Structure 1
Amino acid sequence: MTLEDVKKAGSLIAARRKTLLAGVLSLGLVGTLAAESLFVGTPAAKAQTVTAPGVPQNGHAINTFSFADVVDRVGPAVVSIRVKADQPRQFMSDIFPDVPEGSPLERFFREWQDRGGPNGGPGERGNRRGEGPRGNNAPVTSQGSGFIIAPEGKIVTNFHVVKGAREVTVVTTDGSEYRATVLGSDEKTDVALVQIDEKGKTFPTVPFARNEIRVGDWVLAVGNPFGLGGSVTAGIISARGREIGAGPYDDFLQIDAPINRGNSGGPTFNLAGEVVGMNTAIFSPSGGSVGIGFAIPTSTVERVIAQLEKNGQVVRGWLGVQIQGINRDIADSLGMKQARGALVAEPQADSPAAKAGIKSGDVILAVEGKPVRNPRDLARTVAGYDPGSTVRVTLLRAGKEQDVSVVLGKLPNEQRRADAGRSGDDGVPGSTSLADLGVMVSPASEVGQGDRGVAVVRVDPAGPAASRGIEVGDLILDIQGTPVATARDLGSAISKARADGRRSVLARVVKNGETRFVPLPLASS
């Protein structure tokens, strides 16, 4: 190969390298622009132009997406709330739920917490500022978050943030501190309304969202985690309508934007800077975020706040029924093709439901045409109406649908519960064994448990009844809608159900004063 051939080969290699490099840069630019196109049309999330590292400033620039404009706009309306409250101090029950109280481990973690462990929080720092030692019933200092919804200083936060508050201090993003007053709160939804005690001053506010948030939408969680000051995290809506056992009206948004202790009461924003929810709870085995957080949706917050502003409390509609869910076994027992609705175990005496003619065994399918999926759905729907409202309730009774009009009452503050008597053992007068169910029963009147039904005085732990939670002391009022007063009545009802080809019977049972339906499988003959 001549020297000329070598030079030509080198030039060819250099040209190919330039072509390959240009292709890589072009691919990277296209990929970035493709990602940027996902955010086109988002009014509040503006792209910022920057120069790509290593690329000469000759017009070859790329765009990166940023939440900064949204944060700049909404940040001043998000506040920290510091509370002094008269309530027992809770040590590790939330962060270490499996540590036995009073055990060496609990004492160890308590000491570690007081030295500033991750659950130490502002309360412990307050103690070191000179508040003095505290016992379990001494005042507690804690912190949470909130957001301003009215220029005169009305703030929304969680009930549990201000629970038992004797002194409330609001800290704004510029470090200003203001005394505040709790105007009203609702424990059932964990919503509270606070007013800054500062006359004549105008505060920045944030609006509630008008459009419903969707699963997959971007959200920002803003608050005061661990009492460290304002911070922002981003994520998406992971799910809607979550029930986490926090209260009777659970309807949470699940978000994966990291939220931590101290974020409670802070807002969840969409990319237009509107509040779509209020940060309330996290699922965490460690006390820190694992990417599963829960926010109360705007629809609930606005409804509660409107009543707190008007009345200082929340007044809910009341139907007056004991209800339970419908599983596949119960649906089969009722001849339903689909497990849906709320089964009426018993209407309460002199309640709106009883006055409207709703009976035990009815299935509530809809209220004002809105389908009822389960008991919690019914509770939320009815609670959304004002007392005195007339609503149309769709029932399934004896296999046929019908509508009844109900004038809702006012939800009582407390529901009284009767204590069911406990009795039974071998030798109970009039007791009879029912092998089909694996129970021994006696007329309720003969064992001092009232004048309705039969009392369970013995349970075979390996029998069908025990497998469905039937215990000694329970009362069986009826089987498949047929009242039972003796063991003979119970046996006859079971025989009829078997003759009808049923594999289970639906028993109405009173346990600890609560009435519910229990599907009981029948033992093989």
Structure 2
Amino acid sequence: MPVYPKNLMRRTSALAIAALLAASPVAVFTQPALASAGPPSVADLSERLIDAVVNISTSQTVTADNEGDDDTPSQPMPKLPPGSPFEDFFNQFFNKDGKEVPPHPRKTEALGSGFVIDASGIIVTNNHVIDGADDIEVNFNDGSKLKAKLLGRDKKVDVAVLKVDPPKPLKAVKFADSDKVRVGDWAMAIGNPFGLSSTVTLGIISARNRDINSGPYDNYLQTDAAINKGNSGGPLFNMDGDVIGINTAIISPTGGSIGLGFSVPAATVQPVIDQLRQFGETRRGWLGVKIQSVTDDIAESLGMDHAQGALIAGVDGKGPAKPAGLEPGDVIVKFDGHDIKEMRDLPRIVADTPVDKTVEVVILRKGQSLTKTVTIARLDEGESTVKTSLGTPAVPEKPRTTKALGLEMSSLTKELRGKFKIGDDTKGVLITNVDDGSTADDKQVKPGDLILQVGQQPVESPADVTKRLDELKKSGTKQALLLLSNPQGELRFVALGLD
């Protein structure tokens, strides 16, 4: 290959390309019009909304970790020669008697975001922004500052409502119907990341109904609009300038935005905010059941066409579900007209249901669709989910045992109750060993668990289990649905293959 000077090579190439384009019209390509890369500008929208977004500053008094710990002995002051260069240093921490001086309480400060929803001075933010605060100050875009008082807060959806007394009406924003938000819609966040006030970022709705295991009502909007520390409590807007969510969390290995931000949808927070403004607390609906997901194998064991709904694993004896006739093993597929596609749909819908409202609940029970009527009670936020009492068994003198499905099972004896810490008022078939690598092992079945039902039939002895498994095999069932209880009385269903 000939070697050319660089300038000649560039000129020759240019001439060759020019000749090619002139001689061959088919080589001339026209660039197609590119799709819009986004809104031409959000400047007008930002200018209209930015005064409604605030910076929230909090302060909290903290004390030493060991304050009030009488068991912690005082440390004597080291003996130093007079005039020692370390004498002044140690005098900061020890008094004239040589006793340790307790550290003084100190103030810590934190920053977050919020937004005005009522011109009279109602402001919304995250609960974690103001949690534990002694003082809350709201800083506005025009530089003014106002002290705020807490009207109410809810930890489960991480929202708090504040009140300020402004000298004139404030700029306020309104909520949108977040249920109408689609994946791919543009979204704009305004907040105070790292204390940098009035910061605007733009992105899209990346996903809906995200569960990040932060609470019982997770159904976050996911966005790639940049959200960082300090954005918490700020609004996520649609392109109409209405609030579709409250920016609450990020997933990040670095602590900064990597495009995985999460906002609590407006549809979730609005009922909570209304209750906090009216009552200063939440008043959620309560059904009184413990539920779990319907997996593919559980659906197969129940004879369902596909996995759907919420499987009832336990019923609170004092809750509204009990008199309504709901039972463990029922699958709730519709509640008050709302389809329950998966387990986590139900807690959110029940919580939003007004207390004392009577609703219809559609369940699947042993292959049949039934409709039950339930009057919703009020959730006591401090109570545990389910307490179960299963009666008192007859304790045999000698344990009876069997093995099936990778499980070693035994009747209950006094010795086994003591070994596995099982109460005298509990009955069932005790699992004493689980084969390593078995399906039961993979599904976290443990020695000490009790089998209460097999194939939705109660069992009280290993013989009952064997008999029921044989019946299921003869009927052509491929999965055996077991209702298990741990020693604490927590219930769950597990499906194990019969092959």
| Both proteins in one fold, TM over 0.5 | yes
1:440 is aligned, of 401, 409, 414, to 409
The one-character-per-residue Cα deviations of 1:118-164 (angstroms, maximum 9, x if unpaired) are xxxxxxxxxxxxxxx989x9653211100011112111100111111
Q: Percent identity?
A: 41
Distance 1:141 1:78 in 2: 20
Deviates more, 1:165-174 or 1:461-470: 461-470
Give the drift of 1:179. Answer: 0.9
Alignment of 1:60-459 (within 5 A): 65-85=40-60, 139-196=107-164, 198-210=165-177, 212-416=180-384, 429-443=398-412, 447=417, 448-449=422-423, 450-459=425-434
Give the drift of 1:441. Answer: 2.4
The one-character-per-residue Cα deviations of 1:422-470 (angstroms, maximum 9, x if unpaired) are xxxxxx9405131433223232776243342122222222333222211
AA partner of residue 204 (structure 2): I
1:492 is aligned, of 441, 458, 467, to 467
Cα pair distance change 1:319/1:289, threshold 3 Å: same
CA contact (8 A) 2:402 2:463 kept: no
| Greater helix proportion | 1
2:453 is aligned, of 478, 482, 493, to 478
AA partner of residue 76 (structure 1): D
AA partner of residue 131 (structure 2): K
AA partner of residue 433 (structure 1): T
What is the aligned partner in structure 2 of residue 129 from structure 1? none
Distance 1:484 1:210 in 2: 49
Alignment of 1:6-45 (within 5 A): 31=33, 35=35
Q: TM-score, normalised by structure 2?
A: 0.79
Give the drift of 1:350. Answer: 2.2
Distance 1:223 1:243 in 2: 23
AA partner of residue 144 (structure 1): G
What is the aligned partner in structure 2 of residue 9 from structure 1? none
What is the aligned partner in structure 1 of residue 440 from structure 2? 465
Cα pair distance change 1:89/1:359, threshold 3 Å: farther
What is the aligned length? 425
**Matched residue SS, 2:441:** helix
Distance 2:493 2:107 in 1: 45
Is 1:514 the counterpart of 2:483? The answer is: no
AA partner of residue 136 (structure 2): V
Deviates more, 1:224-233 or 1:181-190: 224-233
**Matched residue SS, 2:247:** strand
AA partner of residue 244 (structure 2): V
Distance 1:217 1:451 in 2: 54
Distance 2:103 2:41 in 1: 45
Distance 1:482 1:219 in 2: 52
Q: What 5-or-longer segments of structure 1 have no aligned partner?
A: 1-12, 21-26, 40-44, 46-64, 91-132, 421-427
**Matched residue SS, 1:490:** helix
**Matched residue SS, 1:71:** helix
AA partner of residue 514 (structure 1): E
Cα pair distance change 1:391/1:143, threshold 3 Å: same
Deviates more, 1:488-497 or 1:73-82: 488-497
Distance 1:289 1:209 in 2: 25
Cα pair distance change 1:199/1:233, threshold 3 Å: closer
Give the drift of 1:500. Answer: 2.0
CA contact (8 A) 1:320 1:352 kept: yes
Give the drift of 1:88. Answer: 9.1
What is the aligned partner in structure 2 of residue 123 from structure 1? none
**Matched residue SS, 2:444:** coil
Give the drift of 1:300. Answer: 1.5
Give the drift of 1:521. Answer: 2.3
**Matched residue SS, 2:359:** strand
CA contact (8 A) 1:88 1:140 kept: no
**Matched residue SS, 2:147:** strand
CA contact (8 A) 1:444 1:451 kept: no
CA contact (8 A) 1:87 1:164 kept: no
CA contact (8 A) 1:440 1:459 kept: no
**Matched residue SS, 2:272:** helix
Distance 2:363 2:402 in 1: 36
CA contact (8 A) 2:293 2:309 kept: yes
Cα pair distance change 1:87/1:35, threshold 3 Å: farther
Distance 1:138 1:188 in 2: 29
CA contact (8 A) 1:342 1:378 kept: yes
AA partner of residue 400 (structure 1): Q
CA RMSD of aligned residues (A): 2.9
Give the drift of 1:505. Answer: 0.6
AA partner of residue 50 (structure 2): G
Give the drift of 1:268. Answer: 0.8
The one-character-per-residue Cα deviations of 1:238-286 (angstroms, maximum 9, x if unpaired) are 1111111111111111101011011000111112211111101111011
Give the drift of 1:501. Answer: 2.4
Q: What 5-or-longer segments of structure 2 have no aligned partner?
A: 1-14, 23-29, 66-101, 390-396
AA partner of residue 519 (structure 1): A
**Matched residue SS, 2:283:** coil
AA partner of residue 301 (structure 1): V
Distance 1:430 1:496 in 2: 24
Give the drift of 1:499. Answer: 2.0
CA contact (8 A) 1:444 1:453 kept: no
Q: TM-score, normalised by structure 1?
A: 0.75
CA contact (8 A) 1:218 1:236 kept: yes
CA contact (8 A) 1:444 1:455 kept: no
